[in-house]
């Protein structure tokens, strides 16, 4: 089941006296909710996601998942990256099972990995050399690897941006289906407005230099959503307008 | 198009043509290496002829291919091979094992920690350039047995390629692999075992292959001193007893065993290679 995410006063600068990347960012994600964080490249959205995952320690601020402060990576949440970065010396199933290996699992590891690959439609490729899989299949294996430890929270860092349009759409639907079925809390970082319109319950618009959340927009459409439907296109336009307005506000 | 291919593949005399083509391509592949070997034998034979023709060197005529290969057959059939090569192989084995046991962790540290890399660069490059044989007197003082001293000298020669190849492999690791592993909750030791070592296995074995080459070269002079077994000792022994045919046979043996060990390393490297062949 999903867990809540809460972050408060999160500020970050990479060098001691450098320009802040994030300034006093705060927000909440409810259990089972899917939130999209959109913004231009370099606005700090990816840094915020790394901080939420415990991979970067923020200069200031706290992150709580399920009420407990995040101090490092955990099998309770997982960050999925833009590139699949599979381990080429492992089969698809061994890749998917790595989190379980790290957690010290001995029994049932292979079955869990296979079951998770089945969840993303790759049961037939369990023993495949991952170097022979297509880009979309590799990203599915990476998704299975993220899901195998049964996390409560899935953090997605532009995970579809290196895929072609058709594969991207198929994987977006797949993630909506799987995370909906497992009831996971999802925080999706993207610069693709359609992606946010198709996947999210709520969109946070982030401005840059320093990164701050400028606007918030709920989307109350049922999922799965049809990309071409007037409702989704309307949401797209609203996000786009909201995006432009919040950037103009900053310029003024 | 497909019909043409089938006609060729199944037509009359297809098998004969296929075999002829296979034999032709095998011959084409084999003839250059074969020519190389024959040239080497020819030069050896020529050297033998020149040595025999010169009155000053005629007593060394045993170096020529015919007597040397006869002596080699004697060694191989007489069962002297293992007595000669066994102790040498054991010294090489222990020397390489020590070099790997010490060199791989150091190589991981060099590749992983920039501070250690910068601090160790000059000392390592300096030590690397010292011939291991220069340590001989110190090794003899420091170790109780000649055997231990030789193992030390081999390890001192073999450690550098292992350190540098391991460090090099580590620096070429995709940083994203380490990030993904950490994100999955892997601790330092787990990440080393499941990600770093499989990723650099090929580099480590390439280091060991280079190390073996150096160690095999250092072995023979190291065995000139003190010990009464091994290939190096046997060469010295053959010289003292003026058995030049036997001496040349041992030289051939040293080359052949080294070639074989190198081939084993190549096989092992192929085995751990995870890069796809295409």
Token pair in block for residue B156 = 């001192």
Task: For residue A27, give the 3-state DSSP assignment.
Answer: strand
CB contact under 8 A, B184 and A99: yes
d(CA B167, CA B80): 41
Question: What pLDDT was estimated at residue A50?
Answer: 93
Would you say residue B223 has pLDDT above 80? yes
Question: What pLDDT was estimated at residue A249?
Answer: 55
- Residues in chain B within 8 Å Cβ distance of A98: 181, 184, 186, 194
CB contact under 8 A, A53 and B183: yes
Q: What is the pLDDT of residues A147-193, one digit of tens each?
A: 998 899 999 999 898 888 888 898 899 899 989 988 999 999 998 89
Q: What is the pLDDT of residues B95-146, one digit of tens each?
A: 999 999 999 999 999 998 999 999 999 999 999 999 888 888 888 899 988 8
Residues 6+ apart with CB under 8 A from A155: A49, A52, A53, A77, A78, A79, A80, A186, A187, A189
d(CA B225, CA B237): 11
A 42-101 → B contacts, CB under 8 A: 53, 55, 73-75, 78-79, 81, 83, 85, 87-90, 98-99, 101
Would you say residue B265 has pLDDT above 80? yes
Would you say residue B1 has pLDDT above 70? no
Question: What pLDDT was estimated at residue B276?
Answer: 65
CB B277 within 8 A of CB B99: no
Residue B186 distance to chain A (closest CA, Å): 5
Chain B touched by A133 (CB under 8 Å) = no
**ipTM over 0.90 threshold:** no
CB contact under 8 A, B184 and A145: yes
Q: Which of A223-237, B111-125, B198-212 has the lowest mean pLDDT?
A: A223-237
d(CA B123, CA A145): 43
Question: What pLDDT was estimated at residue B2?
Answer: 47
Looking at per-residue confidence, does B2 or A91 come out higher? A91
Cα-based torsion angle of the residue sequence A117, A121, A124, A125 in order, rounded to the nearest 10 degrees: -60
Domains and CATH numbers, chain A: 5-76+152-251 (3.40.50.300), 84-150 (no CATH)
d(CA B21, CA B267): 28
Looking at per-residue confidence, does A13 or A211 come out higher? A13
Average pLDDT over residues A8-31: 87
Token pair in block for residue A87 = 């381990």
Q: Which of A45-59, B166-180, B236-250 has the lowest mean pLDDT?
A: B236-250
CB contact under 8 A, B184 and A129: no
d(CA A125, CA B257): 44
Would you say residue B206 has pLDDT above 90? yes
Residue B139 distance to chain A (closest CA, Å): 42
Question: What pLDDT was estimated at residue B9?
Answer: 56
Tell me whether strands A34-39 and A185-190 are parallel, antiparallel or unpaired: parallel
Question: What pLDDT was estimated at residue A208?
Answer: 76
Question: What pLDDT was estimated at residue A211?
Answer: 80
B 208-227 → A contacts, CB under 8 A: none
CB contact under 8 A, B276 and A88: yes
Mean per-residue pLDDT of chain A: 88
Q: Which of A87, A146, A149 to mutate to test the interface with B (most CBs of B within 10 A)?
A: A87
Question: What pLDDT was estimated at residue A252?
Answer: 43
Max mean pLDDT among A148-152, B164-168, B240-244 falls in B164-168
């Amino acid at each position: 089941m999903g867990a809540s995410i809460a972050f408060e006063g999160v500020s970050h600068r990479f060098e001691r006296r450098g320009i802040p990347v994030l300034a006093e960012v705060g927000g909440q994600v409810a259990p089972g909710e899917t939130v999209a964080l959109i913004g231009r490249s370099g606005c700090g959205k990816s840094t915020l996601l790394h901080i939420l995952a415990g991979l970067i320690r923020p200069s200031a601020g706290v992150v709580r998942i399920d009420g407990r402060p995040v101090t490092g990576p955990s099998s309770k949440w997982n960050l999925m990256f833009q590139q699949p970065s599979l381990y080429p010396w492992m089969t698809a199933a061994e890749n998917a099972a790595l989190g379980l290996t790290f957690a010290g699992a001995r029994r049932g590891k292979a079955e869990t990995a296979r079951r998770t690959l089945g969840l993303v439609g790759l049961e037939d490729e369990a023993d495949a050399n991952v170097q022979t899989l297509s880009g979309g299949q590799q990203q599915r294996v990476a998704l299975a690897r993220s899901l195998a430890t049964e996390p409560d929270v899935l953090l997605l860092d532009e995970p579809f941006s290196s895929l072609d349009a058709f594969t991207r759409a198929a994987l977006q639907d797949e993630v909506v289906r799987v995370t909906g079925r497992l009831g996971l809390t999802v925080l999706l970082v993207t610069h693709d407005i359609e992606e946010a319109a198709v996947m999210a319950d709520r969109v946070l618009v982030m401005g840059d230099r320093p990164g701050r959340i400028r606007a918030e927009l709920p989307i109350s459409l049922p999922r799965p959503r049809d990309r071409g439907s007037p409702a989704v296109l309307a949401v797209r336009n609203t996000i786009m307008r909201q995006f432009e307005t919040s950037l103009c506000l900053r310029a003024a | 198009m497909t019909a043409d291919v089938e006609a060729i593949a199944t037509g009359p005399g297809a098998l004969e043509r296929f075999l002829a083509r296979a034999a032709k391509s095998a011959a084409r592949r084999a003839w250059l290496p074969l020519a190389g070997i024959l040239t080497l034998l020819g030069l050896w034979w020529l050297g033998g002829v020149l040595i025999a023709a010169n009155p000053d060197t005629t007593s060394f005529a045993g170096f020529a291919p015919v007597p040397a290969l006869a002596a080699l057959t004697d060694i191989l059939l007489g069962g002297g091979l293992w007595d000669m090569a066994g102790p040498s192989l054991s010294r090489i084995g222990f020397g390489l094992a020590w070099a790997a046991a010490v060199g791989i962790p150091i190589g991981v540290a060099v590749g992983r920690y920039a501070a250690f890399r910068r601090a160790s660069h000059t000392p390592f490059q300096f030590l690397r350039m010292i011939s291991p044989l220069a340590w001989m007197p110190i090794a003899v003082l420091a170790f109780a047995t000649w055997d231990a001293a030789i193992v030390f000298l081999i390890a001192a020669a073999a450690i550098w390629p292992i350190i540098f190849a391991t460090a090099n492999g580590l620096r070429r690791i995709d940083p994203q692999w380490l990030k993904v592993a950490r994100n999955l909750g892997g601790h330092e030791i787990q990440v080393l075992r499941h990600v770093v070592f499989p990723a650099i296995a090929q580099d480590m074995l390439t280091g060991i292959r280079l190390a073996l080459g150096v160690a095999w070269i250092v072995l023979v002079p190291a065995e000139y001193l003190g010990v009464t077994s091994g290939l190096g000792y046997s060469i010295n022994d053959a010289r003292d007893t003026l058995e030049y045919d036997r001496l040349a046979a041992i030289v051939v043996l040293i080359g052949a065993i080294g070639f074989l060990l190198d081939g084993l390393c190549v096989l092992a490297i192929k085995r751990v290679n995870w890069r796809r062949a295409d």
